[in-house]
Amino acid sequence: MEKIKLGIIICDRYRTCAGGKCLRALKNREGAFAVYKDQEVELAAYTTCGGCPGGNIEYAPEEMVKNGVTHVHFATGFLVGYPPCPYMDYFEKFITEKYGLKVIFGTHPIPQKYYLQHVALKTWNSKFLIKATENTICNENIRLNYD
């Protein structure tokens, strides 16, 4: 079985995040990491986008490729921020076309408190955000474990 090397890019709003929820979800194969349920995975990169409008997006994937990364996850913070990152679809296209990396939206399951607020605000009603959040919505019990 081939090991998948992945990188995580977090929203710069959360630059002081220690990554605990992402690392727990990776270990437990929850949220967007559930796709690796039966695969060996190595976290090979972790960085921020560099702040709006994502200045680090231009350069970080190049270093990731040099370190063997094939899959880039945009952390769940991109999806649950108020507002969610408005650049995600562009970032996905850019990274895929320029670097040939697979881009996945989300890392850990969306915490229940964010889920409830965004549902009330109807934040995720666009076609793009419905698709972008599908791997991190999970079920209520899992969401509560990430509150």
3-state secondary structure of 43: strand
Average pLDDT of span 81-94: 97
Range of the domain at 90: 4-145
Average pLDDT of span 103-120: 98
Q: How many domains does the chain have?
A: 1
33 neighbors 107 (Cβ within 8 angstroms): yes
Q: Which two tokens stand for residue 112?
A: 């229940």
Taking residue 127's Cβ as centre, other Cβ atoms within 10 Å add up to 7
CATH no. for residue 11?
A: 3.40.50
- Check whether 1 has a pLDDT greater than 80: no
Q: What is the pLDDT of residues 43-86, one digit of tens each?
A: 999 999 999 999 999 999 999 999 999 999 999 999 999 999 99
3-state secondary structure of 83: coil
